[in-house]
Chain A
Amino acid sequence: MFNTIEPEALLEQLTTQFAEKILLVEKHYDVSVAEVSHDVIKNVIVFLKEQGFQFLTSCNGLHLPTAEKKFGMIYHLHDFKRNLRIRIKTFTQNDPPHFPTLTDIFLQLIGWSARLMIFSGFVLMATQTFAEF
């Protein structure tokens, strides 16, 4: 009933569109995973949304103190129609970490979702500061 597109095809589509900006594609258990260059993360999310990944399952920050790129954002997206899940990861070595806001794409991220990120030290570009909320 579902799964009319193979996850591999989806990752290939992504790689074709963004070429070397897709740093890594793999499959972790039942989820396709792509690591994306920090500067195109918003474009990738917009692209995936246009491809049917309308549902943001979750978004969380990640701190890897011993890694070269210490800070990351992880997005879990879900395409209900094809029942596909994808995990998009992006990392940066900047401290404090700057990431583009996605509040204009997913309403889930407005309010406390963004505030908690800001509170944790993430700078969400083109969004309000913690004090302005």
Chain B
Amino acid sequence: MKEEIKQELIGREYTTLNLGPTHPATHGIFQNVLKMDGEIIIESTPTIGYIHRAFEKLAERRPYGQVTTITDRLNYCSSPINNMGWHMTVEKLAGIRLPKRVEYLRVIIMELARIADHIICNSVIGVDSGAMTGFLYVFQFREHIYEIYEEICGARITTNIGRIGGLERDFSQTAWLKIEKLLKELPKGLKEFEDLLIRNRIFMDRTINCGPISAEMALAYSFTGPNLRAAGIDYDVRVMNPYSSYEEFDFMIPLGTNGDTYDRFMVREQEMKESMSIIKQAMQKLDKLEDKTSFNAEVPEFYLPPKNEVYNEMEALIWHFKIIMAETAVPKGEVYHCVEGANGELGYFLISDGGRTPYRLHIRRPCFIYYQAYPEMIKGAYLSDAILTMSSMNVIAGELDA
């Protein structure tokens, strides 16, 4: 098909179209210079760097605990997963082991973040294919999730949830009630959303065979996450390299076959249901645990003591000071830790020289990797399909640029 188009268009005059950097349909600040023949894309040249903030370099000047706020701003649709991934990296380096209860609480937060991320991505696919209503149906659930974040950490988008060694506070009763409410209402909301789209003729025509990528190509481009699974490869970090006790959970890895926009949409839909199941399982496991109170490991050298102790006990005051001034010793070494981010494998490669800040940090950002394949995926496609392809890959500028 693409070859036919190419042959047919030889000798024609082309137009240049700037898709971005501030085009509303790119959902972020990045540019594509498109060579167009009418509505058909002949060639695409992507440009990145518009919101590059040098996170990896910034991290070299920040104590370990303060790097978390940087990670918020990677894929800001699912900041908690980024936060947890970073904490786990440092915990791996420092050899910190967490109580089971903390791990289950983290699983709940990460799966809530996955649902919030997938809600945004899938509802925006609907919007970009011309269906606004579904977006309005499900977006309220993202609000519910943000309210849960607020209860847990006091913030909504740039969450900064958790600390190295655990969580900063336990879930409140209100947080539990809100989680239960979400688990009760979200399936109904998702069904309404799916009824609008998944067998909708227009939606299917727009998304099936739109921006497809084969399993071989997806692997060659190092795709991970829903975008790889949509192409039929069942790679999920939660299963392959379990962390936070994911190996104790029973869940499916949804797969697609064509690797197109429709499959990516369907994989994310199914993943939201699996995430709900994981949250329920985590709640059951928490009920069965004897430990009903711990929300951090006993690591005074990393975990800030409670304020009342800081004001009244000398030892707590010293730890507080040492942690804030980054005077606690972190072992020398290098460590790679990855988590299954909402968008794919989010990895932190950290090198420590034993100093107060990371010596070097490299972040494997799935969005950056997806974007390398974008020109290939939209070659020979219609402009309107390129928009949908972009939405369905869920390229988030914050993570793309870092």
Do A and B pair up? The answer is yes
- Shortest C-beta distance, B250 to chain A (Å), equals 15
Q: Which of A2, A28, A58, A111 contacts B372 (CB 8 A)?
A: A111
- Shortest C-beta distance, A105 to chain B (Å), equals 9
- Shortest C-beta distance, A34 to chain B (Å), equals 13
Total inter-chain residue pairs, C-beta < 8 Å: 69
Find out whether the CB atom of A107 lies under 8 angstroms from the CB atom of B372: yes
Q: Which of A2, A62, A106, A107 contacts B240 (CB 8 A)?
A: A2
- Shortest C-beta distance, B50 to chain A (Å), equals 13
Find out whether the CB atom of A112 lies under 8 angstroms from the CB atom of B372: yes
Bound together, the chains give a CA A31 to CA B92 distance in angstroms of 12
Bound together, the chains give a CA A30 to CA B335 distance in angstroms of 9
Bound together, the chains give a CA A107 to CA B373 distance in angstroms of 8
Q: Is A128 interfacial (CB-CB < 8 Å)? A: no
Q: Is B28 interfacial (CB-CB < 8 Å)? A: no
Bound together, the chains give a CA A110 to CA B217 distance in angstroms of 13
- Of B221, B222, B345, B371, chain A has the most CB atoms within 10 Å of the CB of B222
Find out whether the CB atom of A58 lies under 8 angstroms from the CB atom of B335: no
Bound together, the chains give a CA A87 to CA B337 distance in angstroms of 12
Residue of A whose beta carbon sits closest to that of B365: A58
- Shortest C-beta distance, B364 to chain A (Å), equals 4
Bound together, the chains give a CA A113 to CA B217 distance in angstroms of 17
Find out whether the CB atom of B220 lies under 8 angstroms from the CB atom of A108: yes
Task: Known A107-B220, A107-B373, A113-B372; judge A76-B240 contact (CB<8 A).
Answer: no
Bound together, the chains give a CA A58 to CA B347 distance in angstroms of 9
Find out whether the CB atom of A107 lies under 8 angstroms from the CB atom of B221: yes
- Shortest C-beta distance, A71 to chain B (Å), equals 12
Find out whether the CB atom of A112 lies under 8 angstroms from the CB atom of B46: yes
Task: Known A29-B335, A31-B336, A57-B364; judge A108-B372 contact (CB<8 A).
Answer: yes
Contact with B along A92-110 (1 / 0, CB 8 A): 0000000000000011101
Q: Is A47 interfacial (CB-CB < 8 Å)? A: no
Q: Is B382 interfacial (CB-CB < 8 Å)? A: no
Bound together, the chains give a CA A80 to CA B334 distance in angstroms of 22
Which A residues are in CB contact (< 8 Å) with B338? 57
Contact with B along A47-64 (1 / 0, CB 8 A): 000000011111010100
Q: Is A13 interfacial (CB-CB < 8 Å)? A: no
Find out whether the CB atom of A111 lies under 8 angstroms from the CB atom of B364: no
Q: Is A83 interfacial (CB-CB < 8 Å)? A: yes
Task: Known A62-B360, A112-B46, A113-B372; judge A87-B219 contact (CB<8 A).
Answer: no
Q: Which of A56, A74, A80, A107 contacts B217 (CB 8 A)?
A: A107
Bound together, the chains give a CA A29 to CA B348 distance in angstroms of 14
Q: Show 23 A/B contacts (Cβ-Cβ < 8 Å), sorted by A.
A: A2-B240, A29-B92, A30-B241, A33-B334, A55-B219, A57-B345, A57-B364, A58-B347, A60-B362, A74-B349, A76-B336, A76-B364, A80-B233, A83-B240, A106-B220, A108-B222, A108-B369, A108-B372, A111-B371, A111-B372, A112-B368, A112-B372, A113-B372
Knowing that A76-B347, A108-B220, A108-B221 touch, tell me 12 more A-B residue pairs with CB under 8 angstroms: A28-B333, A54-B219, A56-B222, A57-B345, A58-B347, A80-B233, A85-B241, A85-B336, A107-B220, A107-B221, A108-B369, A111-B375
Interface residues of A (CB under 8 A from B): 2, 28-31, 33, 54-58, 60, 62, 74, 76, 80, 83, 85, 87, 106-108, 110-113
The 8 lowest CB-CB distance pairs between A and B, nearest first, are: A108-B222, A107-B220, A58-B364, A60-B362, A111-B372, A107-B221, A108-B221, A29-B335
